[in-house]
Amino acid sequence: MPGPPGNPLLVSARIRAGLHTQDDFVIAFQDKAFELGIDATVTVRQVRRWESPAPGWPHPTARTVLTALFGRPPEALGFRRRVRPLPPEAHGASAPSRDEGAMRRRTFVSHSLAVVGSATIPTGPGDVLPVPGSDPLDGIRDVLTGTVCEQEPGTAESLRRDLTEAKRLVQACGYARLAQQLPALLIRFEHPGTALLEQRALDLLAVHAYHVAATLLLKYDDAASAWIAAEKAAAAARRTENPSAIGAAYRILTHAIATVGHRRQAVRMAITGVDRLGGQVNRSAPDSVAVFGALLLRGAWAAALGEDRDAAAELLDEAERTAALLQEATNRQWTAFGAGNVALHRLSIALALGDAGHALQAARTVVPAQLVVAERRATYWSDVARALHACGRTEAAVRALLAAEKAAPEEVRSRTVTRELIGELLQRDCAGRVPLLRALAHWAQVPA
């Protein structure tokens, strides 16, 4: 059986990043260097040395790329700076004589000149100043603000296929991949050019595309950009005059407005959408039922953020009655709406209202395995962890977070609220009585 790797921190970070071979590492390193505008390369031989027991201290440009690639400083990847040995006096040795001191000074000067002569002289600011990393969401923001070039929309089939993949990624919590793919999709709605779809059909697809963009931006706490995307979804929905499209757009607009801090306006937005869609809701129109119910849940959440308990309870109860119109839990219109999702919102809303005890009661009514979307399952376990933490149950909270990480790793690692929760748990468990917490913090890249 092979022994443990020489530099387990770097090996672990590589594998957690999905780079399963050293060749994958080389390709990812070169891609990241190109993305940062840094002229830096690495070979498999160099990677092998970095993953050895004596990895050395990488060159400044390599350190910049490694930090951007793995999201942690070189020290956290197993690299160690070279430490100068202490002078003899520090170990209790006698001071040198005058002649010995003069000889040592001459030796030191000669050595220093040699070091200066062999040193790499900076040729640009990147050699001595940190290079700012790029934000993976900048591409989406560029499209939303109109600062990118036009692109042909492609065929109707390719638009629908790419949009379906984007919807799948957001519900599977594939946020990194989605951030890469989404700009090329969005720009096709920003500049439709000679679209092969009629305007109304294009607008119906645009509602969902901007909905995905706003959802991803909200996941990364960019509510301002999410509001722009949600407004674009609402504008496209209004042009279609399709009640279900309007309801879907108003749902994400409610989310964005509430996250910015305008909770009363968000509730009014949700109620406006509910009124527009109400006449379409019946058992024979399950898609309308799903959109209607999801909008009610978003309105209840916004009301809870505004500490309006009565409105939150009323909208939750109406959502529960609406869920009864669906025969089974589905993912119609990409809403994941159903009785389980209503119960999950009761848990989230109790937390928003500061009632951890009621949140845990609500959690017992949810069967996580029956939640049809990975993002919903991860949200359930994360909310349970928050409630347990509020009740002082640190070890149980960590186990719940591990379940969330298993359901959707990127949902745990990317969400600020979850990373903050891990940090709070670390502070509470300062004695290290919960070893799994340190492993979880390492995976989520939260400093221990």
Q: How far is CA 431 from CA 348, 392, 436, 438, 448, in A?
A: 30, 15, 13, 11, 12
Q: Write out the H or E segment, with its range, that includes residue 269.
A: helix 263-277
The two three-digit tokens of residue 368, written as one number: 């996580």
Beta carbons of 7 and 47 less than 8 angstroms apart: no
Cα–Cα distance between 75 and 406 in angstroms, integer? 27
Give the DSSP per-residue string, 212-244.
HHHHHHHHTT-HHHHHHHHHHHHHHHHHHT-HH
User: What amino acid is encoded at 392 in this protein?
Assistant: G
Residue 2 has a pLDDT of 42
What is the signed CA dihedral for 131, 132, 135, 141, rounded to 10 degrees?
-120
Beta carbons of 176 and 168 less than 8 angstroms apart: no
Q: What is the pLDDT of residues 385-443, one digit of tens each?
A: 999 999 999 999 999 999 999 999 999 988 889 999 999 999 999 888 898 899 889 88
Residue 136 has a pLDDT of 86
Query: Quick one: which of 363, 290, 369, 284 has its CA closest to 333?
Result: 290
Residue 85 has a pLDDT of 40
Residue 89 has a pLDDT of 40
Q: How far is CA 230 from CA 27, 99, 234, 235, in A?
A: 36, 79, 6, 9
Find the length of the chain.
448
**Contacts for 169 with CB less than 8 Å, ≥ 6 apart:** 175, 177, 178, 181
- Mean pLDDT of successive 10-residue stretches along the chain, which has 448 residues: 64 87 87 78 86 83 86 82 44 51 55 49 62 78 84 75 95 94 91 66 94 96 96 96 94 97 96 90 92 97 96 97 87 93 96 94 94 95 96 94 94 90 92 88 84
Q: What angle do helix axes 199-219 and 175-190 make, rounded to 10 degrees?
A: 150
Q: How far is CA 46 from CA 41, 68, 90, in A?
A: 10, 18, 36
Cα–Cα distance between 207 and 18 in angstroms, integer? 32
Cα–Cα distance between 358 and 77 in angstroms, integer? 42
Cα–Cα distance between 266 and 263 in angstroms, integer? 5
What secondary structure letter does DSSP report for 21?
S
Separation of first and last alpha carbons in the chain: 31
What secondary structure letter does DSSP report for 2?
-
Does the CA dihedral 324-330-333-338 come out positive or negative? positive
What is the signed CA dihedral for 14, 17, 18, 20, rounded to 10 degrees?
0
The two three-digit tokens of residue 263, written as one number: 């909770």
Q: Write out the H or E segment, with its range, that includes residue 170.
A: helix 156-171
Cα–Cα distance between 137 and 181 in angstroms, integer? 11
Query: Quick one: which of 395, 407, 399 has its CA closest to 434?
Result: 395
Cα–Cα distance between 234 and 327 in angstroms, integer? 29
